[in-house]
Structure 1
Amino acid sequence: MMSSPIRTASRLLLAALVALWVLPSQAAQLVRIGAAHFPPYTVRPESGADTGLLPQLVEALNALQNDYQFVLVPTSIPRRFGDFKQGRIDMAIFENPAWGWKDIPHIDVDMGLEDAEIFVAQRQREGHAVRQQDYFADLTGKRLALFSGYHYEFANFNAEAQYLAKNYNATLTYSHDSNLLMVLRGRADIALVTRSYLNDYFLRNLNVANELLVSERIDQIYHHYAILRPAAPISGEAFGKLLQGLRDNGQMLKIFEPYKIAVVPVPGS
């Protein structure tokens, strides 16, 4: 039995519509972003939980356009360099070129985001005078609580655990909460904490805010960059334009302002 011309035309039209619907999704380039535990930006990605600011940023990037599909690939602070060089990830984000990327071929994209690393101490030890800002002026002889794998400016960005333990009497953990508890319990004198994380910590622990002295001294300003492989599916210029799109539609402020992460102008944008 032969198909009627109308039925044939309907099938062709349906096939064309299906093709138009499928093509954009097939054409989307997959871009793999390394997700390393770096609270509040990324929180324990190896557990499979999409928590932190990076998943929010990825969701906003995917909602903005259809040319690229951004996905998270769990990694770690020490492992991310190897994953990047081996092509397991196309991009590392919330990075700085000074943090060990110098000898690795890469393209950096200014994200126009600024955070800071600050010093935190117990405001007053029992039986002692209340501490003042000058307590942070000299780290000599003080016990430091640091985040393992972080590059600190006071230590010339040397992140090796043995170096930090030997030269700065440092205990290294993978938890800002643990480091702050060490300070509160007198097991460490000073913890270094990301300012954005400390803001979140005080919101979750209102009772301890008055027990801690926060430094006016800043160890370093985190001026965040995205680090792309030269062979990444997206160019630095294209990614920069997507970030600008999120600035223009207000998503960057919506995601980062609640954590006191500054959205700052990008030169030449």
Structure 2
Amino acid sequence: MSSPIRTASRFLLAALAALSILPSQAAQLVRIGAAHFPPYTVRPETGADTGLLPQLVAALNALQSDYQFVLVPTSIPRRFGDFKQGRVDMAIFENPDWGWKEIPHTIVDMGLEDAEIFVAQRQPEGRSARQQDYFDDLTGKRLALFSGYHYEFASFNAEPKYLATHYNATLTYSHDSNLLMVLRGRADIALVTRSYLSDYFLRNLKVADQLLVSDRVDQVYHHYAILRPTAPITGEAFGSLLQELRDNGQMLKIFDPYKIAVVPVPH
């Protein structure tokens, strides 16, 4: 007849054995808002996994098992509401000046820099070739802009009516369309990110010589991640993961081909 102590010991050993074969605690889900912002995110609402954000998410998930990063499709205008209502935990490739100031958040410096530049037709038919001074004054010029973007020349006011009234702007949801408007003479200047233009020229080798790219920069995009105060991951933890990707070369591998600078992050 077994003693109560032996019986209890057997139950304890059995319980410990069962625990040892159970999977570890499930990774915490971190939802990242994915708005169409090429080449960072390309048409996420269609389920496409192209763009730099899916590559970054894959690298983050391969790096560790504590968090599972997933993309949640949103849009440039809708991302603020999705963030405030908790549909997403994080907005990425952002800047606090782009409408976030009144929304509680934590920022994480991603150590990435891009730029917004001006592009015009190099030599319209029947006219002399344009030079860099063409970009000095925007007055009277027809602009092709991306709807929802915050431009420094317009004091970061993204209201379509304001841009149309004050800057004779046509707004679209396609950099390709804006550049085509310039090539066809339907707009004088388009603003595009340096990273996008680099990719565009690779896809459209024949038009590179037809376009004049400004030395003037509208703004430097210094990218940040914007986290909800109650996000499953802290700003410090996310910053540490990004640093690991910098240290192992993954950040450079993902972003350098698009001329997005990987820069030091101040401590």
TM-score (norm 2): 0.93
Alignment map for 1:186-205 (pairs within 5 Å) = 186-205=185-204
* Alpha-carbon distance in 2 for matches of 1:51, 1:206: 21
Measured against aligned partners, the alpha-carbon deviations of 1:111-139 in whole angstroms (never above 9, x if no partner) come to 00000000000000111000000000000
CA distance in 1, matches of 2:19, 2:77: 49
Using the TM superposition, give the Cα deviation of residue 15 of structure 1 relative to its aligned residue in structure 2, in angstroms: 4.0
Matches within 5 A, 1:114-263: 114-263=113-262
Superposed CA offset, 1:93-122 (max 9, x none): 000000000100000100000000000000
For 1:14 and 1:204, how far apart are their aligned partners in 2?
58
Task: Tell whether 2:17 aligns with 1:18.
Answer: no
Counterpart secondary structure, 1:34: strand
Q: CA deviation at 1:242?
A: 0.3
Q: Which secondary structure does the structure 2 equivalent of 1:23 belong to?
A: coil
How many matched pairs?
A: 256
Structure 2 CA distance for aligned equivalents of residues 213 and 65 of structure 1: 44
Alignment of 1:17-36 (within 5 A): 17-19=20-22, 22-24=23-25, 26=26, 28-36=27-35
Q: Matches of 2:142 and 2:71 in 1, distance apart?
A: 36
RMSD of the alignment, in Å? 1.5
Give 2:58's aligned residue: 59
TM-score normalised by structure 1 residue count: 0.93
Distance 1:204 1:127 in 2: 28
Q: Separation in 1 of the partners of 2:20 and 2:179?
A: 58
Q: Deviations over 1:114-166 (max 9, x none)?
A: 00000000000111000000000000000000000000000000000000000
Measure, in 2, the Cα distance between the counterparts of 1:205 and 1:13. Answer: 63
Percent of paired sites with the same residue: 83
CA–CA distance in 2 between the matches of 1:233 and 1:13? 29
What per-residue deviation string (whole Å, max 9, x for no partner) do you get for residues 8-58 of structure 1? 9xx989744531xx224x2x1100000000000000000011110000000
Q: Structure 2 unaligned segments of length 5 or more: list them.
A: 1-10
Give the aligned residue type for 2:148. Answer: G
Q: CA deviation at 1:66?
A: 0.7
- Equivalent position SS for 1:167: helix
Which residue matches 1:94?
93
Q: Aligned pair in 2 of structure 1 residues 205, 29: CA closer, same or farther (>3 Å)?
A: same
Which amino acid in the other structure matches residue 53 of structure 1? L
Taking the aligned partners of 2:224 and 2:44, their CA distance within structure 1 comes to 20
Deviations 1:233-257 (CA, angstroms, capped at 9, x unpaired): 0000000000000000100000000
Between the aligned partners of 1:174 and 1:95, the Cα distance in structure 2 is 18
Deviant stretches of 4+, over 6 Å = 11-14
